[in-house]
Amino acid sequence: MSVKYISYCSQRLANDSWVLLPFWKDHIARFDRDVKENLENAPALLSTVPLSVFGATLLDTKKYYPRARSFLPIMAEDTIQRAWTGSTGTDLLETSISFVQQTLGFCSQQLGGVRHDMTILDFGVGWGRIARLWLKYLPPGNVKGCDAWEKSINLAKGCGLKNQIVQSDPMLTVLPFPEGSFDLVYAMSIFTHLDEVAFTSCFRGISKMIKQGGGFLFTVRPNVFWEVLRSDLTDHALLSRTPGFVFKHGSFDPRFGDTTVDLEWLDKLAKSCDLKIVGVEWSPSDAMQVIIQMTKLH
């Protein structure tokens, strides 16, 4: 292997030129040519396209999909991306892909893999930054979404997400879908922001919608969050504390802010909902979120 080739491979290619390498370009062109408007055949056409490549093309559908761009989901404006997640574009894509890959690993280990008849709920779907990536594996009809914010629902629809999306009760006292509807529920950066009452209530609601033997995968923040990212908090009166649970309310909603929990607190809540912690994962691309993996026992 030549030094020149090693040097080339060790450098990050400028912009998105790697997407245009001949091998991927042909597969992307085939997808653009053959995908149906309802996207039901998207997984079959994307079977030879890496998730990272497909995700990158979705950042600019006008460029990569001259035919299919009218019925593919687009990203929210950069100002929305940054305000809601703290990052945009390829940086945000990296964390989104990492979460999907962790979810795929969980499915493989605990749920027998991703099946064609699998039903998934994206809890707190936002504009669909995670749901859209599932087009590589499942058609839109298999992945549903819900969100407590009407703004999120409108934005997701405006971004062209074809999945069924409904506005949900903020506390999940009323379920958006029937009990036992889903093989898998995931929630990215949702339980990192709920106070203890909302956290517990939404958690119980989600547990009811999971099928027996199904899975629940979500992110939480570790307690070190306060030392690393919120060291500005000197007034501890602003924090709500119980053993294993710490919350600081935000400015626009008293039940929404910054949250950390520990595993002992989570394990107790899980057992009360007939759920079991089966794994804990983490990714350097999103260092202040820990991924909790659970399965429904009965």
Element (H, E) at 6: helix 3-10
Please give the Cα distance from 100 to 130 (Å, whole number). 7
pLDDT at residue 284, rounded to an integer:
85
pLDDT at residue 5, rounded to an integer:
39
pLDDT at residue 10, rounded to an integer:
38
pLDDT at residue 249, rounded to an integer:
84
Dihedral (CA of 239, 240, 245, 248) sign: negative
Could you give the angle at which helices 196-209 and 263-272 cross, rounded to 10 degrees? 50
pLDDT at residue 239, rounded to an integer:
72
- Locate 146 and state its tokens: 């819900």
Q: Which amino acid is at 50?
A: P
At 186 the three-state DSSP class reads strand
Contact of 92 with 129, CB cutoff 8 Å: yes
DSSP-assigned letter for residue 195: -
Question: Alpha helices of 86-245 — where are they, by DSSP H?
Answer: 89-110, 150-158, 196-209, 225-228
pTM confidence score: 0.91
- pLDDT of 182-200, one tens digit each? 999 999 999 999 999 999 9
pLDDT at residue 116, rounded to an integer:
94
* C-alpha 269, offset from chain centre: 22
Element (H, E) at 266: helix 263-272
Q: Which amino acid is at 235?
A: D
Please give the Cα distance from 52 to 37 (Å, whole number). 22
Domains and CATH numbers, the chain: 3-71 (no CATH), 79-296 (3.40.50.150)
Contact of 279 with 106, CB cutoff 8 Å: yes
pLDDT at residue 18, rounded to an integer:
62
Q: Which of 19, 87, 74, 59 is nearest to 285 (CA)?
A: 87
pLDDT at residue 160, rounded to an integer:
96
pLDDT at residue 23, rounded to an integer:
84
- Locate 266 and state its tokens: 């989570």
Dihedral (CA of 72, 78, 79, 84) sign: positive
All residue ranges of the chain with pLDDT < 70 are: 1-21, 229-238, 251
pLDDT at residue 231, rounded to an integer:
60
